[in-house]
Structure 1
Amino acid sequence: MDRPPALLLLLALGLCCPGIHGQSLEMKVRSPKDITQLRVGQRLELECQTDRNSGAFWIHQDKSGTLHFIVFISSVSQLTFSRDQRTSPRFEASKHNTVYLLVVKSFTPQDEGNYFCMMNFNQMLFFSPGQPAFLPVTTTVPAATTPGPTTPGPTTQCGITEKDSCQKTSDPGLCLLLLQLLAITIVLCRRKAHHNPL
């Protein structure tokens, strides 16, 4: 009998690592004070501050809502970037005690979006709130013209006018993030079970 992929993933996760739960975490992401004034080419540093020493993931949600795994920083400071690379042309990462640092080397429009930190501790997943990082919106003042018919205001990426808030709409990307992180946890649990057989 066919089952939805999300259900199969949750069932597999329950068998692999019972007791994993998504919660809002006791970690916090710290950004520079000038993050609202980002410029193209600027170096951006984000810190994930925790009270644990069990490794952390950094994930980027772009403006379209697509999620991108960036890097896993282990408890012994080993780095695994996407596609199992040890280095990345766009990012740097490091660990200092229980602070996990992510650096965007040269900020570009494709780096805009929300950044999340995630940790797996005692078979439980902990997620940080998203840290938004966007370039300033540039507005141009139109030349004086003869008043014409009223038109709707410019739309944002959410498809609503700038007077409204994008936060009013639900974010399906968050659900996708959870499913991707659950898949990563399954892989980690299998590796742990392989190295530590009962």
Structure 2
Amino acid sequence: MAGSPALLLLLSLGLCCTGAQGQRNTMEARFFNRNMKHPQEGQRLELECTPYNSDSGVSWVRQDKDGKLHFIVYISTFSRTTYPGNEKTSSQFEGSKQGNSFRLVVKNFRAQDQGIYFCITNINQMLHFSSGQPAFFPVTTTTAAPTTPAATTQRSQVTKKDICVQSSDPGTSNRNMLNFYCEIYIWAPLAGVCLVLLVALIVTIVLCQKTRRRRCRCKRPPNGKPGAKPSVPPRHI
């Protein structure tokens, strides 16, 4: 029986399916550490199973997320173990019998070791299934932090396009206000340009007047030659 646990399971299922359903909850598979809820990755996980009759061997199986069953180890009443492929040892699992309980140790719990663990025993040609012990990583839930608008001290620059955008409010007062702002932003620059041109024109006129006055104050030389004496007109007798 210790040499071919898979064959034993198949024969027992064929002979005693009805009895197995009736005796399903006579055993319990659970964590050896009662305070454990979820195993951590890389942790050493220990499970134990106490069958209804400790005179029969126990097989440990795991049901994965897809519902497939995976044989792990068969532990005889003399604490002899048989792993898949009729191997006597395993690098990942360790089985033993201590007193009336059959223990399974997962040396390094990994993602592929997640699932529901069961122990199965054959008593009086009837299969007895234990209750399943789920062994999954804890579910991590990330809560998004509430977003608060960042306080800004910079003033938003108001452009003509922003102000002249028509409001969705159909009220006449809002439209009139927008039109008023648009007229201000259109005519104010024009008025400023006109004022600058007017000032420039006034300055130009003043400068021209000063230059003209300076030219008028200059004395012309007599007879049109510099240094010549003024000529006296002849008198007629």
Amino acid at match of 1:29: A
Provide structure 1 residue ranges, at least 5 long, that are not aligned to the other structure: 1-8, 146-198
Superimposed CA distance per residue, residues 33-88 of structure 1 (whole angstroms, 9 cap, x where no aligned partner): 34324211111110101242210000001122221000000112111111111111
Amino acid at match of 2:80: Q
CA shift for structure 1 position 21: 3.4
Matches within 5 A, 1:41-52: 41-52=42-53
Indicate whether 1:116 and 2:118 are aligned. yes
Match of 1:99 in 2: 101
Matches within 5 A, 1:12-31: 13-14=14-15, 21-22=20-21, 23-31=23-31
SS, match of residue 76 in structure 1: coil
Provide structure 2 residue ranges, at least 5 long, that are not aligned to the other structure: 1-9, 148-237
How far apart, CA to CA, are the structure 1 residues paired with 2:62 and 2:138? 19
Count, aligned residues? 135
Match of 2:37 in 1: 36
Amino acid at match of 1:90: Q
Match of 1:89 in 2: 91
User: Higher relative contact order by CA 8 Å / sep ≥ 6: 1 or 2?
Assistant: 1
CA shift for structure 1 position 140: 1.9
How far apart, CA to CA, are the structure 2 residues paired with 1:24 and 1:51? 11
Match of 2:6 in 1: none
SS, match of residue 13 in structure 1: helix
Indicate whether 1:140 and 2:139 are aligned. no
**Which residue of 55, 58, 61 corresponds with 1:56?**
58
Greater helix fraction, Structure 1 or Structure 2? 2
Q: Is the 8 A contact 1:35 1:133 kept in 2?
A: no
Q: Is the 8 A contact 1:19 1:123 kept in 2?
A: no
Greater strand fraction, Structure 1 or Structure 2? 1
CA shift for structure 1 position 117: 0.5
How far apart, CA to CA, are the structure 1 residues paired with 2:83 and 2:19? 24
SS, match of residue 21 in structure 1: helix
SS, match of residue 127 in structure 2: strand
Q: Is the 8 A contact 1:72 1:80 kept in 2?
A: yes
Q: Is the 8 A contact 1:51 1:98 kept in 2?
A: no
How far apart, CA to CA, are the structure 1 residues paired with 2:116 and 2:28? 14
Q: Tell me the TM-score normalized by structure 1.
A: 0.61
Match of 2:184 in 1: none
